[in-house]
Chains A and B, each alone.
Chain A
Amino acid sequence: MDSISLIGMASIITAGITIAIGSVGPALGEGRSVAKALSSIAQQPDEAGTITRTLFVGLAMIESTAIYCFVISMILIFANPFWDQVIAK
């Protein structure tokens, strides 16, 4: 196998695995936090504003790990430096 197909295969497979594994953890975490927030809003509807704001900030924090994985896989597919170097040769 020459280096073009090797690099192409490695980048595509790694991009898929990255987004697949990287989205599992944040999805579980966001589900847990939303469930907790919903039950606490049901218990204390007066505090809904504070709970919602904290929930959004927390969701953004949790989500950023998935976003990191997404950025990595996007770079692997669309802006791969190794691929560009191989193609330029």
Chain B
Amino acid sequence: MDPMSLKQISPDAVILWKWGFFSINLTMVFTWAVMALLVLVSWLVTRNLSTGTKISRWQNLLEVLVNAMRNQIREVSQSEPDFYLPFIGTMFLFIAVSNFLAMIPGYVPPTGSLSTTAALAICVFIAVPAFGILEQGVGGYLKHYIQPTVFMLPFHVIGELSRTLALAVRLFGNIMSGTKIVAILLAITPLLFPIVMQALGLLTGIIQAYIFAILAMVYIASGTRARKEKEDTEKEQEKADRSNKLQKKGENNG
């Protein structure tokens, strides 16, 4: 019934099929199932989109989702969201759907395995310099590592590594604790109490997906924004200088 026993801490340990070096475990199966579901639903919905006043329910759902994601990204990054939307939106949708399906019996969320969350966190780890370099070039991005002084270089590097680890372990710990607590409660007090914890698990799952996406956006924005702010302040200073000079000239003339 339950594909994962109490002793197994992540769905990685459940191996369904093995042939020589290759093996297929539960995590891979459910990851592909979630991806197939996402692709299928988006394909079915976007097949006949309408721009008129009458839209289908599913198009309405997708529009609400995409709009909400765009608004959140715009607020966090203070710039146009379309550049970041594909990456952040995919992360959010994948994590949210894979956590949300946890109410289906026999399903184990693939985000409850450290390999999946580590892969997602490594995607963020690579995306931060990628977006930074796309926005401001290699030199401009690398310059922020030595921003106040050269001595800050090791701290920047340690910070990038530790926040990647924190992203992975946070998501894994939250989802794994949810499934584990439900499994333990099923053994002690069956029927009613596990349902309450399952409902709480749904809430935590959505919040964790939101937090993962927001944190990824904050990290990417912090890698790209530093230089923009500097340029803005320089421009403002130039303006202020110019107006000061004009004022002085006016005073001299008068």
Give A contacts to B, CB under 8 Å. Answer: 50, 53, 56-57, 60, 63-64, 67-68, 70-71, 74-75, 78-79
- Measured between beta carbons, the chain A residues less than 8 angstroms from B173 are 64, 67-68, 70-71
CB A29 to nearest CB in B, in angstroms, measures: 15
CB B177 to nearest CB in A, in angstroms, measures: 6
Stretch of B144-152, B210-218, B242-250 contacting A (4+ beta carbons < 8 Å): B210-218
Given A71-B176, A74-B177, A74-B180, 17 extra CB contacts under 8 A: A53-B76, A56-B210, A57-B211, A57-B214, A57-B218, A60-B207, A60-B215, A64-B170, A64-B173, A67-B170, A67-B173, A67-B174, A67-B177, A68-B173, A74-B9, A75-B9, A78-B7
Does B75 sit at the interface, judged by CB under 8 A?
A: yes
- Measured between beta carbons, the chain B residues less than 8 angstroms from A70 are 173, 177
Q: How many residues of B contact A (CB 8 A)?
A: 23
CB B99 to nearest CB in A, in angstroms, measures: 14
Query: What are 23 A-B pairs with beta-carbon distances under 8 A?
Result: A50-B75, A53-B72, A53-B76, A53-B214, A56-B211, A57-B214, A57-B218, A60-B170, A60-B207, A60-B215, A64-B170, A64-B173, A67-B170, A67-B173, A68-B169, A68-B173, A70-B173, A71-B169, A71-B176, A74-B176, A75-B9, A78-B6, A78-B8
Does B172 sit at the interface, judged by CB under 8 A?
A: yes
- Measured between beta carbons, the chain B residues less than 8 angstroms from A53 are 72, 75-76, 214
- Measured between beta carbons, the chain A residues less than 8 angstroms from B166 are 64
